[in-house]
Each structure stands twice: as structure tokens, then as C-alpha cells.
């Protein structure tokens, strides 16, 4: 059998491009792999310096980046990772591994330098590093407190929000036991029990649960928590908890409850005040009618040039005003019975204008009626709706100083079963501060004797009794539009009228 000298073939058989260098960095030998890979197959490289061939430089590399210097000094192998650009412009990563070949005196006689292309591995490593940095960033920047602990409860990771919530710095908290510091007695055990049960979101998961945590200063904080077990190769390796501070929510709920309590107290007060006012209104209604009749009779008796005519006319105007207030008070406190009759809304608006025709306030105002030609059939109390429209029209007229317009536009949406009535005026508009209060009872911006602040409150309660809604559609110093929505009458078989 032919004798096989493996040592002779070793150098050429190496699967990495390899050079043999002398300690002064001269190339002594290069294997075929090296010559092919770096395109030196027909070129002379033996006898040249490694930095001339590898880096096209006439100067040796800096000591810190040259592995050969390390090999010579320590007589042991080492490697450097280099990044170069390939012929196609792509990044190429190479591990340049240098190993000493010692002579019989134990000195470094030669150096073997192998070049391993690690681009694929390196790019994967960079990609995975980027992904983990990205995930790390997500955790770090989360507004929720996130805490990761190993299965013994030792904290591994705490994001910024968690450090803030628990009041710990990373240095102090990481490496300490959760059970000991962060939960109330038995808290950590209970979380683990729930995590391993099937009842709280499945094994390994704990859907939102409320619990108490303890901060570094010993303060107990109510939180909402979700948790999960992190598995690796099917084994439990860590737990992750996400916590949200419940204090702001609890505080808001408390404030809301308090506001509701005050509102209830207020509406109770208003109800008894309303009852009282309604009682008084009821009592003065009849005497007012008497005054009105008597004053009208006196006026009829007086000659045209009688000087007290003006006074009697003022008595009549003021008594009308008193009667309006009484009407509003009675309607507001629901003392008036609500009738159920069927009518066309356009007719009720016309009727309102007939009643207001001689009202002094409307004399300089142009009324535009843009009525729908469809039947706007509505079921309810016609007189109460006359009162609604009167209040709105009088308010509009009050808002207009001098000349102006009031436009009433009616329409319907049959599929939605709704009637829409818009009252627009060219008045002064409602100031932003007043807007939330205009439907409140007794809210008025008018001077004493001109407004009681019951008008819109009454309007709202009548509209709501009819199953409708009222709102300010728009308001500005150029004018205001009120929008009323009423249900379109439905006949028994549910078809809309």
C-alpha cells in the first residue's frame, strides 16, 4: 500500500484560505484556497508582507489590531474579526485566526493565518441584536410598569415605568425577591397559583386582576395586573407582570360619585323648590287673570287721550309677563297635564306666530319660514309646544338688537322617524361660558325683571316629555341656531306617518 503522508497534504487540504507567515510578517506559503479566493492565483505573493497583500498597505497594522503581535508575544493563538466590503459592495465579515507554529526551541517559527468568512453568522447576529434591542425598547418605553422575574421570584428586569411605580432603582431591585418586597403577604403565591390554574385565562396566563403592591417606601398601591409565565423548551423560566396604577382611576371615580351626589342633592332641592314655586304659581294664576280682565276693561272705558291709559297698558304688559312666568313655572314643575293629540308641527309654529304677531319685540324682526312641504306629524301637547316655540322665539328676539332675522326651518327624516326644527337668529350669540348652563333652571344673563332663566329649562323638559331633544347647533357673535328633534308620528302597524 502506498504510504500516505498526511502532513504533506494538510496545508492544501485546509478548507479555509490560509497563509504561513514568518515572524516578520512575510508570506512564506499560501494555500490554493487563499490564492483562489483572493484572486492571487497567477500573482506572486510569496516573500511579500501580509499587510501589503491583505490591506494594500506599505505600513504594518497598528499593534492593537494585529493578531500576529499577540501571537508572537504570548505564543498562543488569537483572532480578529474584520469587516470589509466585497466586490459587490456588500459587507463581508471575516474571522482572521492566527496560530503559532513553534520551532524546536519553543520559539514562534511561523504563524498560520486562516481566514474564515463569518458574514452569514455575523449578519444573523446583528439582525437578532437589532430585534432584541427593538423589543427591549418597547419594554423600556412602555407606559405600563413591566417586571420580569425568574421562577424563584428574583427580579430580572424592571422597566422605567415599573421603577417609577415601585419606587426602586434598577440597581436595588434587580436581584431581589419579588415576594419579599413588592407584594402584600401571600400576594406572590396567589399570583403564581392563578397563573398555573386554568381559570384566569388559561395555564400560564393571568388576565386583568386587581391587587395591591408595596412601594420601596412601604406605601400600598392598588393596581390592575396581567401576568404570564415565560416558557423555554416547554419549561417555566420566568414570569412577567404588567401593572397599571389604579389610583388615578379610583380618584376619578370618587370625584364622579361626589359630583353625582351633589347633583342629586341639587336636583332634590330643585324638585322641592319647583313644587313650592308651582304651588305659588298656581295660586297667583287666577288673581293675575282677574287683574288682566279688570285692566283691559278699564282701558276700554278710558278715552284715547286719557293720560292714565299708558299706565294701564303697562299694567297689562307686566301682567302678561307674570302670566308667562307662571306658565313656565307650571310647565317646568310638570303641574300641567300633557295632552295627546296629533298635529302638523308647521301648523303649531304658525299658531305661535299668530299669537306673537303683535308682540313689541318682534316688530323690527324679519321672520323667514322655510317649512317642509311634507307632513310633519307629531303626537303630543300642542299648547306646550306653542310655549316651547314662544320661549325660543322670544329669546332670539332678545338677542337681536335693532333689526335682524329669525329663520325657522323644518324638515323630516322618514327612515329615522324624526322631525327637525331649526331656529336661527342674527343675534349676539351665546358666550362660551354661558353655553353649558343655558338649560339650567334659573340661569339667565338678562337684567332683573327681563328674565327668570326658566325659559330653556322648560323648553327642554317639554321636548324631552315628547321624546325629543334640543341642542345649540351653532352659536357665534353673528347669531345662534337651536335644533329641536321630535319623533315623527308612527301609526299602529309601525309605518311612519
Q: Which residues are at the interface with ligand ATP (CB under 6 A)? A: 328, 391, 395-396, 399, 425, 427-430, 434, 438, 443-446, 451-457, 480
Compare residues 239 and 458 and give the one whose CB is closer to Mg ion: 458
- Across 172-206, b (16+ Cβ under 10 Å) vs e yields ebbeeebbebbbeeebbeebbebbeeeebbeeeeb
Under rule CB under 5 A, residue 427 binds Mg ion? no
* CB 321 to Mg ion: min, Å: 11
Asked if 457 is part of the footprint of Mg ion (rule: CB under 5 A), the reply reads no
- The binder of 425, among ligand ATP, Mg ion, none, by C-beta within 5 to 8 A per type, is ligand ATP
Answer yes or no whether residue 390 interacts with Mg ion by CB under 5 A: no
Rule CB under 5 A: say whether 424 interacts with Mg ion. no
State which of residues 31, 395, 426, 461 lies at the interface with Mg ion (CB under 5 A): 395
Question: Using CB distances below 5 to 8 A depending on partner kind, what does residue 446 bind out of ligand ATP, Mg ion, none?
Answer: ligand ATP
Least distance from Mg ion to the Cβ atom of residue 451, Å: 6
- For residues 197 and 432, give the distance between their C-alpha atoms in angstroms, rounded to a whole number: 56
Least Cβ distance, residue 442 to ligand ATP (angstroms): 8
Minimum CB distance to Mg ion smaller for 67 or for 455: 455
Least separation in angstroms between CB 450 and ligand ATP: 7
Q: By CB under 5 A, is residue 455 in contact with Mg ion?
A: yes
Q: Does 460 bind Mg ion (CB under 5 A)?
A: no
Q: Which is nearer to ligand ATP, 192 or 430 (CB)?
A: 430
Q: Which is nearer to ligand ATP, 160 or 398 (CB)?
A: 398
CA distance 42 to 44: 7
Size of the site for Mg ion (CB under 5 A): 2
Q: Residues of 128-155 as b/e, b for ≥16 C-beta within 10 angstroms?
A: eeeeeeeeeeebeeeebbbbbbeeebeb
Taking residue 86's Cβ as centre, other Cβ atoms within 10 Å add up to 10
Closest approach of ligand ATP to the CB of residue 429, in Å: 6
Cα separation of the two ends of the chain: 114
CB of 383 to ligand ATP, least distance (A): 17
Nearer to ligand ATP by Cβ, of 17 and 429: the residue is 429
Q: How do strand 108-117 and strand 91-102 relate by DSSP bridges? A: antiparallel
CB closer to Mg ion out of 14 and 394: 394
| Measured CA distances, 314 to 31, 284, 393 (Å) | 123, 19, 22
Scanning 115-123, 278-286, 392-400, 469-477 for contacts with Mg ion by CB under 5 A, the matching segment is: 392-400
Residue 474 beta carbon to Mg ion: minimum distance, rounded to whole angstroms: 19
Residue 361 beta carbon to ligand ATP: minimum distance, rounded to whole angstroms = 12
Rama region for 18: left / alpha / beta (φ>0; ψ in -120 to 50; rest): beta
Least Å from the CB of residue 169 to ligand ATP: 57
d(CA 116, CA 92): 11
Which three cell numbers, joined as nine digits, stand for 167? 419606587
Q: Distance between CA 345 and CA 375 in Å, rounded?
A: 8
Q: Which does 430 bind (CB under 5 to 8 A by kind): Mg ion, ligand ATP, none?
A: ligand ATP
Q: For residue 216, what are the contacts with CB-CB under 8 A and spacing of at least 6?
A: 166, 167, 168, 172, 181
Distance between CA atoms of 244 and 143, rounded to whole angstroms? 9
Between CA 321 and CA 446 the distance in angstroms is 14
Question: Which residue, 31 or 458, is less far from ligand ATP as judged by CB?
Answer: 458
- 3-state SS class at 352: helix
Pairing between β-strand 145-150 and β-strand 235-245 as defined by DSSP bridges = antiparallel
**Residue 346: partners with Cβ closer than 8 Å, 6 or more residues away:** 371, 372, 376, 410
Q: Minimum distance between the CB of residue 458 and Mg ion, rounded to whole angstroms?
A: 9
Which residue's Cβ has the minimum distance to Mg ion?
A: 455
Q: Pick the stretch among 150-158, 290-298, 431-439, 451-459 that binds Mg ion (CB under 5 A).
A: 451-459
Residue 486 binding result from Mg ion, ligand ATP, none, given CB thresholds of 5 to 8 Å by partner type: none
Contact between residue 53 and residue 45 where contact means Cβ atoms under 8 Å apart? yes
- Pick the piece of the chain touching Mg ion (CB under 5 A) from 157-165, 178-186, 414-422, 447-455: 447-455
Binding site for Mg ion (CB under 5 A): 395, 455
Amino acid at each position: 500500500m502506498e504510504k500516505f503522508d498526511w502532513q504533506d497534504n494538510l496545508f492544501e487540504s485546509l478548507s479555509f484560505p490560509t497563509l504561513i507567515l514568518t515572524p516578520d510578517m512575510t508570506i512564506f506559503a499560501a494555500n490554493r484556497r487563499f490564492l483562489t479566493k483572493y484572486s492571487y492565483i497567477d500573482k506572486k505573493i510569496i516573500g511579500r508582507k501580509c499587510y501589503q497583500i491583505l490591506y494594500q498597505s506599505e505600513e504594518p497594522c497598528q499593534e492593537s489590531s494585529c493578531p500576529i503581535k499577540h501571537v508572537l508575544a504570548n505564543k498562543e493563538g488569537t483572532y480578529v474579526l474584520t469587516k470589509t466590503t466585497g466586490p459587490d459592495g456588500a459587507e463581508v465579515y471575516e474571522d482572521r485566526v492566527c496560530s503559532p507554529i513553534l520551532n524546536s526551541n519553543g520559539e514562534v517559527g511561523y504563524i498560520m493565518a486562516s481566514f474564515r468568512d463569518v458574514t452569514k453568522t455575523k449578519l444573523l447576529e446583528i439582525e437578532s441584536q437589532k430585534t432584541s434591542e427593538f423589543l427591549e425598547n418597547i419594554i423600556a418605553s412602555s407606559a405600563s410598569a413591566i417586571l420580569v422575574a425568574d421562577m424563584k421570584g428574583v427580579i430580572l428586569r424592571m422597566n422605567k415605568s415599573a421603577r417609577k411605580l415601585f419606587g426602586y432603582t434598577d440597581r436595588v431591585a434587580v436581584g431581589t425577591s419579588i415576594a419579599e418586597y413588592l407584594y402584600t403577604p401571600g400576594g406572590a403565591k396567589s399570583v403564581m397559583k392563578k397563573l398555573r390554574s386554568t381559570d384566569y385565562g388559561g395555564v400560564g396566563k393571568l388576565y386583568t386582576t386587581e391587587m395591591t403592591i408595596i412601594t420601596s417606601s412601604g406605601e400600598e398601591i392598588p393596581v390592575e395586573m396581567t401576568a404570564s409565565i415565560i416558557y423555554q423548551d416547554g419549561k417555566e423560566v420566568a414570569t412577567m407582570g404588567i401593572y397599571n396604577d389604579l389610583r388615578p382611576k379610583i380618584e376619578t371615580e370618587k370625584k364622579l360619585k361626589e359630583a353625582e351626589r351633589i347633583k342629586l342633592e341639587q336636583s332634590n332641592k330643585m324638585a322641592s323648590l319647583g313644587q313650592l314655586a308651582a304651588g305659588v304659581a298656581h295660586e297667583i294664576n287666577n288673581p293675575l287673570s282677574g287683574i288682566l280682565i279688570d285692566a283691559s276693561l278699564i282701558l276700554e272705558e278710558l278715552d284715547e287721550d286719557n293720560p292714565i291709559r299708558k299706565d294701564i297698558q303697562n299694567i297689562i304688559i307686566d301682567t302678561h309677563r307674570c302670566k308667562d312666568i307662571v306658565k313656565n313655572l307650571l310647565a317646568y314643575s310638570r303641574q300641567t297635564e300633557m295632552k295627546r293629540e296629533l298635529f302638523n308641527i308647521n301648523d303649531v309654529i304658525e299658531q305661535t306666530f299668530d299669537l306673537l304677531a303683535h308682540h313689541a319685540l318682534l316688530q323690527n324682526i324679519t321672520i323667514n319660514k322655510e317649512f317642509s312641504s311634507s307632513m310633519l306629524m307629531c303626537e303630543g301637547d300642542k299648547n306646550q309646544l306653542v310655549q316651547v316655540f314662544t320661549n325660543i322665539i322670544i329669546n332670539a328676539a332678545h338677542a337681536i338688537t335693532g333689526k335682524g332675522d329669525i329663520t325657522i326651518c323644518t324638515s323630516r327624516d322618514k327612515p329615522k322617524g324624526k322631525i327637525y326644527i331649526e331656529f336661527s337668529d342674527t343675534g349676539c350669540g351665546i358666550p362660551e361660558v354661558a353655553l353649558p348652563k343655558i338649560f339650567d333652571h334659573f340661569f339667565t344673563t338678562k337684567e332683573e325683571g327681563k328674565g327668570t332663566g326658566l325659559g330653556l329649562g322648560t323648553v327642554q323638559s317639554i321636548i324631552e316629555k315628547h321624546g325629543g331633544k334640543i341642542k345649540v347647533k351653532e352659536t357665534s357673535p353673528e347669531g345662534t341656531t337651536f335644533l329641536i328633534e321630535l319623533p315623527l308620528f308612527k301609526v299602529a302597524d309601525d309605518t311612519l306617518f
